Chains A and B, each alone.
Chain A
Amino acid sequence: MMLVLFYIAAAVAVTSALLALTLSNATHALIFLIVSLLGMAVIFFLLGAPFAAALEVVIYAGAIMVLFVFVVMMLNLDPEAQAQEQSLLSFKYWWGPGLLSGILLAELLVALNTTHHAVGGDAVLPKTVALSLFGPYMLGVELASMLLLSGLVGAYHLGRDFLVRKGDPSS
């Protein structure tokens, strides 16, 4: 049973990753990339890593992809993009991602109903991960925090001209 679920999720993840890197419209490609990350989260869940699956949805498909969507939307502010927005609500633009994420949703419902002993039994639970993370991997956690801090400083420096308004004396 879980074998079938795994292969369906893998097919969804691979298909949408392929579509994400071959489409020409950046917004549509981003939606497919998000679906690919959701498929990956279902795979993680089926592999017995529920914590990683939750982080994949919350941080990857949530936070990191929102940055992408924000930048893509910010770069297309011309008038013809406005006219294009009108046509975005038509069916042909959302049936693909909708179908693929519908498959993932159905799969998740089936997995939650039939295998919740199987996943809870031998899965690597968040407690184990946390004990390992703040035990032997403490140095790695510190290094990751330094990396994130430098990423924050770098992103602020590079995006400074967009954050400060023109003519502001402090710029």
Chain B
Amino acid sequence: MTTVQFVPLEHVLAIAGLLFAIGLFGLMLRRNIIFMLMALEVMLNSAALAFIAAGAYWGHPDGQVMFLFILAIAAAEVSVGLGLVLQMRRQIGSLNMNVASRLRG
């Protein structure tokens, strides 16, 4: 028997929501692009937690399938995002997003 029968689904979803809120506030408060990417990772993880919890609650594999897709999206996003970080450091000389607010550097 799985834990979800003991842990109420609402608590798992509350933790996922809390993590999403932490990631969202981190994204809005921090101006360093590396921290903003890390906040995105936290938010993607909270979505994955909600999928896994729902999949475990109904005993379906669909939650884990969605987790795999989230994993692929996170990998693609991070590789392109970190490439952009390197370019930003090279062309602007700073990792601060306020400096990079103009479209034409």
Q: Interface residues, chain A, CB within 8 Å of chain B?
A: 2-3, 6, 10, 13-14, 17-18, 20-22, 26, 29-30, 33, 36-37, 40, 43-44, 46-49, 51-52, 55, 59-60, 63-64, 67-68, 71-72, 74-75, 118-119, 121-124, 128-129, 131-133, 137, 140, 144, 147-148, 150-152, 154-155, 157-159, 161-162
Contacts and interface: CB of A to CB of B under 8 A. Distances in A.
A40 B49 CA distance: 8
A60 B46 CA distance: 13
Interface of B: 1-4, 6-7, 12, 15, 18-19, 22-23, 25-26, 29-30, 32, 34-35, 37-39, 41-42, 45, 48-49, 52-53, 55-56, 59-65, 67-69, 71-80, 82-87, 89-90, 95
Given A64-B78, A148-B76, A158-B87, 4 more contacts: A13-B19, A43-B49, A151-B76, A152-B79
A162 B32 CA distance: 21
B16 to A, nearest CB: 10
- The listed residue with most B CB atoms (<10 A of its CB), out of A30, A36, A37, A157, is A36
A159 B67 CA distance: 28
Contact of A129 (B39, B61, B72): B61
A64 B25 CA distance: 22
A155 B1 contact: no
B1 to A, nearest CB: 5
A144 B36 CA distance: 24
Contact of A26 (B7, B32, B64): B32
- B interface: dominant SS: helix
A92 to B, nearest CB: 21
A157 B84 CA distance: 10
B42 A36 contact: yes
A55 B38 CA distance: 19
Nearest to B32: A26
A147 B89 CA distance: 26
A148 B72 contact: yes
Contact of A21 (B35, B61, B87): B35
A67 B37 CA distance: 12
A17 B76 contact: no
B80 A133 contact: no
A49 B29 CA distance: 33
A49 B23 contact: no
